[in-house]
Structure 1
């Protein structure tokens, strides 16, 4: 029974989703495919955001009836899994590793950020993702290979990758939000006045000192690089 466009957990078994044929095995060959459905959903999310992605909207995008899509994606959660795995295919997995695990891990983080900025809905979708698909697992394999020189065991390497991915997703979500806020200068000015007033009230000396300290480059790239350095350089692999 299809679950429709709700955000609840899907009942689709990972093997059925990722290892089964990409189209229903019975009946006549349909005029669309799982790949076409996924591409349409990604295009819709890129253009209008994740909330715009519904089975009905995607079906309209491929010229199909909504009910016919349920054989491929019985609910929105499954559709999101397909979308995440599709865009994960944009991540390079054959780039040579340097053997410097910190440098290689920072490269992994930068690649993730670039992907998420191309698809700003991705951080939200990742939070609801369950079992990674084959393209996503290819990148996990690449990241784990980058961590091989650390000597960490497999479970610890997976934890490091999860930590990095969570950091990048959270940072990009904030970055996208700040970029949107930049289009409302009145709001930005109001926030600056508020922080200045709080810093001057005498009850927040640490904040006052931080706000008065010499500024650093505040471009999105420079900010991300500093945060990424602090995260990766501070990892303990002992």
Structure 2
């Protein structure tokens, strides 16, 4: 569906009489279904049943599932804070943005997959993008570079949360984990993998999901070059 038609037209059916529900109600029902059963469970028929409407009535608001998912993504983006004061330290502010994104994706586990295929920015997504771009203002980066940094950050969070959720649902057995440790220890001691041996000998890090995410995020954001003098052109 044309983004301008989707986001800039009033909430009304595209044809026929106005039904006893709204675009917001349809979207809320779809989000509830996806939260409970996953994105694959969201079909026009099931969402219509959830709001007590006929399937054909639903098409007045969302002509296809792709459009419905766009609406869902923007609805949950409305949970992201966009009015909090920025500290002016762009790295700290950017990390806060990422932590908010992670929390949102953990509340809505279907969101990382949806973001990989749905790029249409609704009003809530645009408000959060505006907030993130404001966080990057002190960098001196040009507009295109700021958008790239935000895209990089969002992609990192989505990928990390997807991995986090997969690990949580397919927990490795203690025997399997111990076997992996024995294998790597044996390989590291064979003299052919000195870098691996050094890595395994180094002190370990906390392995909680939050600590791991924060550590990876720090490496990503702290490694960004925001020196405008280093930008080409």
TM-score (norm 1): 0.89
Q: Which runs of 5+ in 2 are unaligned?
A: 228-233
Contact preservation (8 Å) 1:199, 1:205 = no
Alignment of 1:1-238 (within 5 A): 12-24=1-13, 26-182=15-171, 185-186=172-173, 189-201=175-187, 202=190, 203-238=192-227
Contact preservation (8 Å) 2:98, 2:157 = yes
CA distance in 2, matches of 1:124, 1:113: 13
Contact preservation (8 Å) 2:90, 2:139 = yes
Contact preservation (8 Å) 1:199, 1:207 = no
CA distance in 1, matches of 2:163, 2:34: 18
Contact preservation (8 Å) 1:198, 1:204 = no
Question: How far 1:51 sits from its partner (Å)?
Answer: 1.1
Contact preservation (8 Å) 1:14, 1:131 = yes
Contact preservation (8 Å) 2:14, 2:60 = no
Question: How far 1:127 sits from its partner (Å)?
Answer: 0.4
Give the count of matched residue pairs.
224
SS in 2 for 1:214: coil
Report what 2:230 is aligned to: none
Deviations 1:196-219 (A, max 9, x none): 324413354433443343211111
CA distance in 2, matches of 1:192, 1:52: 37
Contact preservation (8 Å) 1:23, 1:72 = yes
Q: 1:67 and 1:191, CA in 2 relative to 1: closer, same or farther beyond 3 A?
A: farther
Question: How far 1:64 sits from its partner (Å)?
Answer: 1.1
CA distance in 2, matches of 1:204, 1:65: 63
Contact preservation (8 Å) 2:15, 2:60 = no
Contact preservation (8 Å) 2:48, 2:54 = yes
Deviations 1:124-167 (A, max 9, x none): 00001122111000000000000000000000000000000000
Stretches (4+) displaced over 6 A: none
Report what 1:6 is aligned to: none
